[in-house]
Homo-oligomer: A and B are copies of this chain.
């Protein structure tokens, strides 16, 4: 089954298509087919070569490897950067779930490239919501034109998961102009030579250190000043990494750099979360992208590689791995699209965003790992591309909040509140759509397992030791609910048979993990080392 058919089917099954004629199934399919043709021709071929070449610093500036600058030129010339941007500012205005589909196609072909260009829609959203009219008028046109790309500058050496420890400071002079001083690390695309200009969205302290996250404000900080001179931002280094060698991960030193405050002092975290929730769903889609790519590669390999007189796709254990990869990919994709379709519901989005980010990225590693195993020894060699998927996918579980930090958010902030209520309603809605008794029973059992586990976790004062199993179970429940939607999709023929077969496989082979996860959540013990 080809990728675009799967995507359109999944969009339809998860409420991701719009009733409006612009974005019905047929229109969406034709847009995505055209986008995929561009990606296959212009973006995908550079993925391996750019990773092998890597980034470097020349005269203090980052050079990303060929062909990414040329790729970016085509991307902008053909207007594909406009796909996720609002119509009001000259964009194409694709609905969020369709933007997710686009992000999946782009990230699957070239994760590094997608990261370089991917923060623009989120940055525009922040500027629209928090910027003054003058700031919007100044910043949005250059982002829409593609001459400027955006970054997100949060992390510092001693402030990773703990943003309250941020020390980069914003200072206002007598004329009311702000400057930034401090060092940020792990800044993706912190410098590059794709776009003429870069605007950094920087989280910095304007209050006292004791205020923690409440003393943080968000700034827009151009790499160039309006007179064309370089702003006081130095690229200290770029990181060597396990993967994503074509994505420059920068350490930036702001040394009294000119900047503009977005919103009010102290609004920093609130503004950053607007961008962060967008970014987290994007990361979930990077996970789906790697899973889909790994499955496509492994499936093609297994259909031609012969062993013992037949293709290995027909060997029992390989067939099991391929089914697992396919079912995981389809379900994770449905989770991402469904979450995107529900973004306007703030309570639900607060719950679904971390759950989808954690599940889809864990799934990416799992599917890529299976992909290596399907290829056997060849999976360990670069020429098949599987090992790059495995390396590149690994970072998605670490950035935009490690999956462990997200699990702690789930048990500490989301259980027992309005978000949980909204989540259970969403599960119940899927239950009501069940297309068979087995599908209904399977999901109802999973929901019961989750309720028991969540109750057990809520009952202990320091749930840290069972945060990860509860997060895994939560992801599995939502995965099961989205699979119920896929099985209930109005399709026929080969597609319907495949969904029915994989739906059964999901119940037989994937949902049983719930039994183990429930027991883990119900049997917590604190180790001697744990404080919480």
Contacts and interface: CB of A to CB of B under 8 A. Distances in A.
A519 B512 contact: yes
A308 B377 contact: no
Nearest to A303: B529
A530 B314 contact: yes
A372 B463 CA distance: 22
Interface string A521-532: 001110111111
Which label, helix, strand, loop or mixed, suits the secondary structure of the A interface?
helix
Interface stretch (A127-135, A215-223, A481-489, A503-511): A503-511
Interface stretch (A1-9, A268-276, A391-399, A418-426): A391-399
Contacts of A376: 160-161, 398, 402
Contacts of A507: 523
Nearest to A310: B531
A181 interface: no
Nearest to A159: B307
Given A242-B387, A394-B380, A515-B515, A403 B373 contact: yes
Contact of A505 (B161, B164, B527): B527
Interface in A397-424: 397-399, 402-405, 407-408
Nearest to A365: B369
Contacts of A64: none
A172 interface: no
Contacts of A316: 408, 462-465, 467, 530-532
Nearest to A317: B404
Contacts of A315: 408, 464, 530-532
A491 interface: no
Most buried by B among A165, A377, A519: A377
Nearest to A402: B376
A177 interface: no
B512 A523 contact: yes
A155 B508 CA distance: 35
Interface string A227-242: 0000000000001111
Contact of A162 (B308, B322, B463): B308
Contact of A307 (B161, B501, B514): B161
Contacts of A162: 307-308
Interface string A297-322: 00000000011101001111111111
Contacts of A307: 160-162, 165
Contacts of A513: 516
A67 interface: no
Contact of A404 (B158, B321, B501, B512): B321
Q: Which 4 A-B pairs have the closest CB atoms?
A: A316-B464, A512-B519, A319-B530, A516-B516
Interface of A: 155, 158, 160-162, 164-165, 186, 239-243, 306-308, 310, 313-323, 365, 369, 372-373, 376-377, 379-383, 387, 390-391, 394-395, 397-399, 402-405, 407-408, 462-469, 497, 501, 504-505, 507-509, 512-517, 519-520, 523-525, 527-532
Given A160-B377, A241-B380, 8 more contacts: A240-B381, A241-B381, A242-B390, A313-B529, A319-B530, A391-B391, A512-B517, A512-B520
